[in-house]
Amino acid sequence: MENTVNFLELSANAMRADASIEDKNKLFKHFFELEEWIFILPKAQQLPDSNFFISEVDNKLWIFIFTDSDKALTFGKANPERLINDEGGINYLSIKTKEALRILNSLEKSNVYGLQINYGLPGWFVPISSLENIIKFLNIEIK
């Protein structure tokens, strides 16, 4: 899945010490306007009985989501023992944003704290509990 938005540039701008609220709003607006999000799976997982890649960061559980499959593969290659499959690729699911939000809300009830988006590329993060407020604040209609 390709997109024309440069999320690496947007996230670098939004995470600067002097970033404005407009920088952060632009990043989240483009993220929520994506048709679908990429959920990476651990290498041992196969469809249809798969679980999303969730890992602990700073003593909290986070789900790792990517804005396109190339970024997910880059992350996978940086973590081959956990994510690269026998064919040298990654296992992932593309999920429509509206359905992804429903899934994330159910994961919050399972003690998943938040989303790590494009982790380390540079990426950004957000607690699941903040998603609805961000969507309302930015007045975004999720498709």
Mean pLDDT of 113-125: 93
SS3 category, 142: coil
Query: Do residues 97 and 103 lie in contact, with contact meaning Cβ atoms separated by under 8 Å?
Result: no
Task: Assess whether pLDDT exceeds 80 at residue 125.
Answer: yes
Inform me whether the pLDDT recorded for 2 exceeds 60.
no
56-95 residue pLDDT tens: 999 999 999 999 999 999 999 999 999 998 889 999 999 9
pLDDT at res. 143: 78
CA–CA gap between residue 102 and residue 132 (Å, rounded) = 11
**The predicted structure's pLDDT at residue 48:** 60
> What DSSP letter does each residue of 59-127 carry, written as one string?
TEEEEEEESSHHHHHHHHHHSHHHHB-TTSSBEEEEEEHHHHHHHHHHHHTTTEEEEEESTTSS-EEEE
User: Cβ(101)–Cβ(143) under 8 Å?
Assistant: no
Read off the tokens for 138: 């930015």
**Distance from C-alpha of 74 to C-alpha of 11, rounded to nearest angstrom:** 16
Whether 1 has a pLDDT exceeding 70, the answer reads no
- Mean per-residue pLDDT for 20-42? 95
Residues 6 or more apart whose CB falls under 8 angstroms from that of 51 comprise 41, 42, 45
Question: pTM of the predicted model, to two decimals?
Answer: 0.90
- Whether 31 shows a pLDDT value over 80: the answer reads yes
